[in-house]
A and B are shown apart, each in its own frame.
Chain A
Amino acid sequence: MNYLMGAFKPPCNITITFSDGKTRKQVSVKKENGKTAMVPVFQSLETISGEVSIDPVQGKKVEHTGVKIELLGQIELYFDRGNFYDFTSLVRELDVPGDIYEKKTYPFEFSSVEMPYESYNGTNVRLRYILRVTISRNYVSNITEHRDFCVRNYSPVPTMNNSIKMEVGIEDCLHIEFEYSKSKYHLKDVIIGKIYFLLVRIKIKNMELEIRRRESTGSGPNTYVETETLAKFELMDGAPVRGESIPIRLFLSPYELTPTYRNINNKFSVKYYLNLVLVDEEDRRYFKQQEISMYRLLETPASS
């Protein structure tokens, strides 16, 4: 139930319901005020349908110049907060101008909506989808109500998925070879790999694998890059000797990852990296970062 702001109570309550709201999958999203809320999930080319009901407050009538519902896909950049850029906007007129005296419901339907981008809530950028109902009025401000929903698009299993294999080192000091079995991972995937120590002349204390998210927003001189470490996963404790191989097995499911987003509407990108870090006894860090590509695999009920 939504509450409207302002000193005056709005003359009516607007409720937006999805036709399959009871059965549709929901996910929790973080809202601006920090609270989490459950919202339904859609994917691109799904039909979004439901009902809008307008229920005037007891004994009042709502005069309006028309009622419409819009489906909006918006990108909000935080350095330009409050300014939404709509990359998708669909409108359905629900009512012609007139008065509403009692509760009235309007069905709506957006069929096969193209929603190419996923909902995303990042450090400097937000991409959201909403349904917005507007009751237009003369002289007084319009009454609006919106409902969030979430879009998630699934990718098929990539046909090409090479392993990442690389030999790195500092001359006469440290040589390692690491291997991650794949370069593309789905969100619930497991990173399997191995690190071979070819030469160890430094006193290593431990080794960890980090998952880092690099979010870049804006373009040109106004590009903002924010890197966030989502996971720190210790792989090894103590100093290995030459010839050791250390296994990697990192389950991705506990971390809040998204698919890799490349240049979303020319506004932002989100990329993921695996960062292998070796720490020596003087706490010096030696690292090598590799990009991995994340995708969302359609979850079959069995594998959830």
Chain B
Amino acid sequence: MHADTVAEDEEKWLAEGIAGVQQNAYYMHRALDSNNLKDALKFSAQMLSELRTSRLSPHKYYELYMRAFDELRKLEMFFREETTRGNCSVVDLYELVQHAGNVLPRLYLLCTVGSVYIKSKEAPAKDVLKDLVEMSRGIQHPLRGLFLRSYLSQISRDKLPDIGSEYEGDADSVNDAIEFVLQNFIEMNKLWVRMQHQGPQRDKEKREKERSELRDLVGKNLHVLSQIEGVDLEMYKETVLPRILEQVVNCKDELAQFYLMDCIIQVFPDEYHLQTLETLLSAFPQLQPGVDIKTVLSQLMDRLSNYATSSPEVLPEFLQVEAFAKFSSAIGKVIEAQPDMPAVSAITLYVSLLTFTLRVHPDRLDYVDQVLGACVKKLSGKEKLQDSRATKQIVALLSAPLEKYSNIVTALELSNYPKVMDHLDNSTTKVMAVVIIQSIMKNTTCVSTSDKVEALFELIKGLIKDMDGTQDDDVDEEDFKEEQNSVARLIHMLYNEDQEEMLKIICTVQKHILRGGPKRLPFTVPSLVFLALKLVRRLQGQDGDVVGEDVPTTPKKIFQILNQTIEALYLVPCPELSLRLYLQCAEAANDCDLEPVAYEFFTQAFILYEEEIADSKAQVTAIHLIIGTLQRMNIFGVENRDTLTHKATGYSAKLLKKPDQCRAVYACSHLFWVEDQDGVKDGERVLLCLKRALRIANAAQQMANAARGSSGSISLFIEILNKYLYFFEKGNPQITSSAIQGLIELITTEMQGENATSDPSAEAFFASTMRYIQFQKQKGGSMGEKYETIKAS
């Protein structure tokens, strides 16, 4: 209600003001048309009197000002014509307008004539400008003063006695140009700052908003300064910057300080900033506590780092001026000067500094560490950060070096890196750890010493083990898997050419991941096992070179470690996985000619099978794995081998489901027939296995008959037939063509039997088997001869 009427009133006042301007402008135009100077001055002064109002907000006042401004342009043109026609000398005109009784119209007119005066070159531009800027002190009302001086700045912009300008006077006139702009700037800023104290306290917020709208009027002066040709580095360093900063610091106003610092950074060239860094930065600690220094300073660092990356030639300059050291100490001072600064701001500052360092001095890792160290110092004494924004900034701080170096190894050398991480809460620590791992993955970084591995695992410990005092209940299962998978992937990235070091790495990893607890081990142990096995393979590759007891890295040792590791997994319990890993190890041991080790692993596998694997499906899988692995083992002596194969066949026959039994048993046949040079070739036992399989298949079918009244699938028979064919081809003397012939007939009969259920896939399987036989026959040669005796029809 109240606000509405105020707005309405203001609208009305503005309308009145505009009407006043228009009316007087009308008479002024009439006077101009009839070349009546006296009336022109009179009406223009009256018109400008409308600008004396105190009732308008800055926004509305601007509208009114613009109206008057347009009219003043016309008046200026008239003055110019008047003086060039010789009706009135510009000097007289300059005096004449000063007869106006009111100071505001007088000064607007004076500026207008001043513009003509400079253009006429009857007096040096510097003198006129100096006079104008000095006389403008008459307006102490902030709003009116700002607009008047803004007008002065506007009309003088193209008339500064700059180097190369047509108004350039004697040698030092550029000094006058600068002095003029500086002075106008200083006065405007003073007025602007003073504005906040105008009017009642309760409207303060609104006033500050309005004030903020006017800031560009002040900032424009800095822009003008930056456009002056004569402002070279020397001038900027010696005069311009110190003067501006003095004003900025002394005005003690948050709004102004923030805006102007930002302005300085934006309008002047980066090169200047670089060369005056010390001066510029020294202003920051002197600013008011409420000034958002971090934003401004970050801007500056961003700009300079962009500048540094834009052209490599400038880099030496950065070194020369010790940009980093200066920034670093400035930030330190700012933080010291503002004890109430929130952590997030301080960290943001460090993030900016870090970004700057990374871009400008990528080779200076010590700088990076220094920044992190400073940050740690700032955070020290505080526990974990609760502020989510601060946490975010820390993540940014920690991520920056990773992105830059794309090599985690570099980050691992930063002693302060983990210290910074300590300030993060648990979930963020994890996020950070994932980031680190992702960085390694993305860049396929190789971490190659145990020390670094140690450091790395220290960094990602959030993922490796449960953090103290936290429950993992609320952790999302998917996330957890994702995290652990990434750890598993990470393990594969560890590599060192030197085997001894590699062993150390493995030990380190083992140490860390064994602390992971039952939930993590299934993810991490396999990676470690394969990492270790990889080393085993390498050792085995150079077998013979290393002999003797004092060689530290031997496959044996590794296998010991492996055994421990898998045992941990076994205790989880996680039997299937452990079994597989044991088998892998056994195979590796086999390749290393370590019979006892391999035997031990097999033993473990069998124990697991017996004691832990109860599920029938899992048993099937496990037994097939065992058979498959065992088949490839070639180091076992007869005795050991017999024990193991016997076990395997035994377990095969004890599987629950008949078809499973059948398949396992025929698979066992391969244990007695290894197609190696000196592999076992025990045809008799192969036949025994196959026959046993047939029996089981038969039994299976009968059972099916009994249970469901239809014979089961004959696919088991066909599968066995295929085994027969395999061994037949391989030249097992026990497998005869007649046996095959018999089997084919059996299958054919079964398929045509009354109770046979049609099974298209089995039929197709059989048909293709038969086609194969046909094909082998036709191929001729020795194989064709062999097949000759089999009738396939």
Binding site for B on A (CB under 8 A): 206, 231-241, 244-247, 249, 251, 253-254
Contact = CB atoms under 8 A, between A and B. Distances in A.
28 contacts: A232-B101, A233-B101, A234-B101, A234-B102, A234-B104, A234-B138, A235-B103, A235-B138, A236-B103, A236-B138, A236-B140, A237-B52, A237-B102, A237-B104, A237-B139, A238-B139, A238-B142, A238-B144, A239-B140, A239-B141, A240-B140, A241-B190, A246-B137, A246-B140, A249-B98, A249-B135, A251-B99, A253-B95
B140 A251 contact: no
Given A234-B104, A236-B140, A237-B140, 15 more contacts: A231-B101, A232-B101, A234-B103, A236-B103, A237-B102, A237-B104, A238-B145, A241-B190, A244-B137, A246-B137, A247-B135, A247-B138, A249-B98, A251-B99, A253-B95
Contacts of A251: 95, 98-99
Nearest to A190: B95
Interface in B87-104: 95, 98-99, 101-104
Contacts of B139: 236-238
B692 interface: no
Nearest to B198: A239
B194 interface: yes
Interface centre among B52, B137, B144 (most CB of A within 10 A): B137
Interface of B: 52, 95, 98-99, 101-104, 106, 134-135, 137-142, 144-145, 190, 194
Nearest to B193: A241
3 smallest beta-carbon distances between A and B, as pairs: A238-B141, A238-B140, A234-B103
Contacts of A244: 137, 140
A254 B145 CA distance: 27
Contacts of A206: 103
A206 B139 CA distance: 9
A226 to B, nearest CB: 22
B106 to A, nearest CB: 8
A237 B148 CA distance: 12
Contacts of A234: 101-104, 106, 138
Mostly, the A contact residues are strand
A247 B134 contact: yes
A173 to B, nearest CB: 18
B349 to A, nearest CB: 34
A234 to B, nearest CB: 4
A241 B103 contact: no
A206 to B, nearest CB: 8
A226 B137 CA distance: 35
Nearest to B99: A254
A87 to B, nearest CB: 36
A247 to B, nearest CB: 6
A238 B139 CA distance: 6
Contacts of B102: 234, 237
A253 B96 CA distance: 10
A247 B101 contact: no
A278 to B, nearest CB: 12
A251 B140 CA distance: 22
A239 B199 CA distance: 12
Contacts of A245: 137
A233 B95 CA distance: 14
A207 to B, nearest CB: 9
Contacts of A235: 103, 138
A236 B103 CA distance: 6
Contacts of A249: 98, 135
A256 to B, nearest CB: 13
A208 to B, nearest CB: 8
A278 B382 CA distance: 58
B548 to A, nearest CB: 92
Contacts of B144: 237-238
Nearest to B103: A234
A18 B140 CA distance: 56
Nearest to A206: B103
A170 B190 CA distance: 26
Contacts of B140: 236-241, 244, 246
Given A237-B52, A237-B103, A247 B137 contact: yes
Contacts of B106: 234
B138 A246 contact: yes
Nearest to A250: B98
Contacts of B142: 238
A252 to B, nearest CB: 10
A233 B102 CA distance: 6
A247 B194 CA distance: 20
Nearest to B191: A238
B698 to A, nearest CB: 114
Contacts of A241: 140, 190, 194
Nearest to A231: B101
A245 B183 CA distance: 14
Contacts of A239: 140-141
Contacts of A232: 101
B453 to A, nearest CB: 67
A149 B135 CA distance: 42
A249 B101 CA distance: 11
A231 B144 CA distance: 24
B137 A237 contact: no
A88 to B, nearest CB: 37
A199 to B, nearest CB: 15
Nearest to B145: A238
A109 B137 CA distance: 58
A237 B134 CA distance: 15
A41 B104 CA distance: 39
Nearest to A236: B138
A241 B52 CA distance: 20
B99 A237 contact: no
A231 B101 CA distance: 8
A239 B139 CA distance: 9
Contacts of B134: 247
Contacts of A247: 134-135, 137-138
B111 to A, nearest CB: 14
Contacts of B137: 244-247
Contacts of B194: 241
A237 B138 contact: yes
Interface centre among A235, A237, A244, A245 (most CB of B within 10 A): A237
A253 B92 CA distance: 12
